[in-house]
Amino acid sequence: MFGYGSLIWRPDIPHSRARPARLEGWSRRFWQGSHDHRGLPHAPGRVVTLIEEVDAVCHGIAYLVERDAATALEDLDYREKNGYRRRDVELAIGTDSTLGIAYIAPRDNHAYLGPAPLDQIATQILESTGPSGTNRDYLYRLGDALRQLDADDAHVFELEALVRKRDPDGHQLQC
Ligand code: SIN
């Protein structure tokens, strides 16, 4: 199972191993609406999905799910129900590659918001909150997790800098 968003810092699935992994040919974008976790039905937040892009690399975590895989998938299907679909992907782990599953929200899903100027995405994230917490918290956790992985992601880091600068609670980036 490949996690590239909240599944990086809150997998909540029983797994026997977790390793940094890469998905080549995909980029992570805050283009998916969140009506159930980081926003509300009338005021969606924004969370990440993956977009196919030649030469792009998305860094995340690969989890080895050996026990209760069927239950884990059922739980994840429920958690990722707002537009995500399971997709078979080829993961790069170190110098090896292996087949895995990722939850990707395709362009034709009902909650897809698509691209927008980064400043506009930052405003939406600053203003959104839902049952799982603030949209800012999702972005900051993702930024922190990617730094821990030593992974580069200009889209996430630029957005994080914009949001932190305007955060009324003053969550500045500590460097
Ligand atoms: C994932 O984390 O892999 C899927 C997107 C999300 O739940 O944030």
pLDDT tens for 32-76 read 999 999 999 999 999 999 999 999 999 999 999 998 999 999 999
> Measuring from atom 5 of ligand 1, which residue has the nearest CA?
5
Is residue 140 within 6 Å of ligand 1 at its C-beta?
no
Residue 105 buriedness (CB in 10 A; 0-12 / 13-18 / 19+):
buried
> Measuring from atom 2 of ligand 1, which residue has the nearest CA?
5
In the chain the domains, ranked by start, together with CATH numbers, are: 2-166 (3.10.490.10)
pTM over 0.85: yes
pLDDT tens for 116-141 read 999 999 999 999 999 999 999 999 99
Residue 56 buriedness (CB in 10 A; 0-12 / 13-18 / 19+):
middle
For residue 127, report the distance from its CA to the centre of ligand 1, in Å: 20
- What are the catalytic residues? 80
Q: Which of 34, 44, 54 is nearest to 142 (CA)?
A: 34
